Amino acid sequence: MSLSDTHITLAHGNGGRFMRELIDEIFARHLANPELDVRADAVTLPLNYDTEREDLLFTTDGFTVQPLEFPGGDIGSLAVHGTCNDLAVAGAMPRYLSLNAFIEEGLEVAVLERIVQSLAQAARDLGVRVAAGDTKVLRRGEGGGLYLATTGVGTKPKSVQLGMHCIQAGDTVLVSGSIGDHGIAVMLAREQFGLSGDLQSDAASVLPLTQAAVQVDGLRFMRDPTRGGLAAVTHEIIQATGLGVRLMQGSIPVRDPVTSVCEQLGYDPYYLASEGRVVAVVAPERAADVLAAWRSLAEGEDAAEVGTIEATASHGVVLETELGGERILEELEDDPLPRIC
């Protein structure tokens, strides 16, 4: 690598030699694939999908997190997984990504290279190619070190029909694993509030989980519970369907470190971000089949049935406590903890 600078400068975003070297020697070198042409304004994507049997899906997302590198991941792998997960929970196979990098002046080149290398590895692991991108350099103080914006393209069999409009009263609510790991892991990585720990973020691809679930008739809906967590997803269901949601506190998987931090700081795990989990709504007679499929995978060994869809939403999201009482999970209005994404 001939890029001699140790930190990003404004010259790396001026369209000249330094910018060309940055793109060639970090982004293009790690993301090299036949579709990525850093000299072209647009590229042709050989999608090769059957228009009679498949739908083309399209999504876009943005990523900002502090710190940029955290236990279990970084903003690079997070961007790939987050974008591809949005396609995956819609029942699609991710195919291509675009990548826009907004780099703050002063970011260490070594940090940028680690993040791009991680991003590239995450894409390779999923069989996804970064086909296009753009680079901008922000003045010092105008960014959080690095922001990423992505667009994802995927294909879905027309036979897979998912959505909130498919949800019915009596359906079962599942989660694929413990909730809140990402939110607490990132917070602990900041070493705020005098707390520290070794909890790993759950940031990962959910594609194995979603591809297993779509094989089961009776799957109605899937969503990855990122910002706002499990509570936000269930409130979206209520708003879209007019139905109610009842969750069972004793069945929701929450790791001990997450519970401990929440108890100390007054946070609620149901509102915390999870970046590698799936919330699914399934016909009650097929819920056990989805659970069995998930639990056969390493990504879903802690999968659980956590609630039911009720005919009325008069009480909103009801949490049935372990003591037999009931608590209403209000819709999220304020950030439940210092902003993590």
Q: Do domains 10-157 and 164-329 have the same CATH topology?
A: no
Q: Where are the beta strands (DSSP E) in 211-316?
A: 219-223, 244-248, 279-282, 304-310
Residue 1 confidence (pLDDT):
44
Task: Kindly state the DSSP code that residue 250 receives in the 8-state scheme.
Answer: G
Phi/psi of residue 119, nearest 5 degrees = -60, -45
Tell me how far apart the alpha carbons of residues 31 and 24 are, in angstroms, rounded to a whole number.
10
CA distance 230 to 226: 8
Residues paired with 290 in a beta bridge:
none
CA distances from 107 to 17, 51, 104, 246, 333 (A): 19, 44, 6, 46, 33
Identify the band that residue 11 occupies on the pLDDT scale cut at 50, 70 and 90. confident
Q: What is the pLDDT of residue 148?
A: 97
Which residues on neighbouring strands pair with residue 221, listed in sequence order? 281
What are 129's two structure tokens? 């190619």
Per-residue model confidence as pLDDT tens digits over 164-209:
999 999 999 999 999 999 999 998 888 766 777 789 999 999 999 9
CA distance 319 to 272: 16
Residues 334 and 22: their CA atoms lie apart, in Å, by 39
- Alpha carbon distance 102, 249 (integer Å): 41
Q: What is the rounded distance in angstroms from the CA atom of residue 145 to the CA atom of residue 108? A: 9
For the four alpha carbons of 167, 172, 173 and 174, in that order, the dihedral sign comes to negative
- pLDDT band per the 50, 70, 90 thresholds, residue 339: low
Reading the block at residue 221, the tokens are 């809906």
Does the pLDDT of residue 210 top 60, yes or no?
yes
Q: Which fold has domain 164-329?
A: Phosphoribosyl-aminoimidazole Synthetase; Chain A, domain 2 (3.90.650)
Number of neighbouring beta carbons within 10 Å of residue 60: 12
In this structure, of 10-24, 207-221, 227-241, the range with the lowest mean pLDDT score is 10-24
Return d(Cα 105, Cα 11) in angstroms, integer.
9
pLDDT tens, 92-148?
Answer: 999 999 999 999 999 999 999 999 999 999 999 999 999 999 999 999 999 899 999
Domain range list for the chain = 10-157, 164-329
Tell me the C-alpha distance between 163 and 124, whole Å: 29
| Burial (CB count <10 Å: 0-12, 13-18, 19+), residue 49 | middle
Homologous superfamily (CATH) of 10-157 is: PurM-like, N-terminal domain (3.30.1330.10)
DSSP 52: T
For residues 311 and 243, what is the distance between their CA atoms, to the nearest angstrom?
5
Strands 317-320 and 244-248 turn out to be parallel
Buried/exposed 116-139: b ≥16 CB within 10 Å, e otherwise: bbbbbebbeebebbbbbbebebbe
98: β partners: 132, 151
- The rounded distance, in Å, linking the Cα atoms of 79 and 85 is 10
Q: What is the mean pLDDT of the chain?
A: 92
